[in-house]
Amino acid sequence: MSNTWSIFGAAQAKKQTYQNITSSATATQRSGHNVKLKLGTSHVLDPTQRIRVNFERTRNSAARRFHSYDRHELSATHTLLFGSGAFLLSALTLTHDGYDGNDPTISPQTRKDKSARARVTYGVPLETLADETPDLLKGVTLTLSAEAYRQVSNMTNFTYNNYRLSVGVNRRWEF
């Protein structure tokens, strides 16, 4: 749309075929079609910041109604560049899943889930942390990430929290 603002979209269609295995004798029940449509916008706020918002709609049609669902997902990400290669990425995703039918082995209720995921990643090139950097460490970026996930379902056994901390080391090569 302009040098600082863009809109985008994507579509994806898949045929998913699952095979039963010893640890999952009912995997074939998940086989079916999956269609995703995504629309979004990205805006560069200034040379060091960008915000991106998108909406995704998913229709998963499986062999059994209790594996078929409609998903609505809204997500926003913010990128902040600090200079010298350091950056901060933050993201928030909200999701609503509505299933087509109940799983009679679990409950007479039809499952409905809502979830939220918040994630923050800080990255810094190792060569910016010290005056002298060995050649082996040039191009290496250290990342620290934290994530919180919360899912709430109308069925108790699908409600849970998950927290994750991670450290990453990435190496860039130029040819």
* E strand residue ranges, the chain: 5-16, 32-46, 49-62, 69-83, 86-99, 112-125, 140-153, 160-171
Q: What's the pTM value of the predicted model, to 2 decimals?
A: 0.85
The number of distinct structural domains making up the chain is 1
Tell me phi and psi for residue 41, to 5 degrees.
-140, 150
The CA distances from residue 173 to 32, 102, 127, 138, in Å, are 41, 51, 14, 9
- Structural domain range at position 80: 5-171
Amino acid at residue number 165:
L
CA distance 81 to 123: 10
Q: How would you write the pLDDT of the chain (175 residues) with one tens digit per residue? A: 788 999 999 999 999 999 999 988 888 988 999 999 999 999 999 999 999 999 999 999 999 999 999 999 999 999 999 988 899 999 999 999 999 999 888 889 999 999 999 999 999 998 887 777 777 677 889 999 999 999 999 999 899 999 999 999 998 777 7
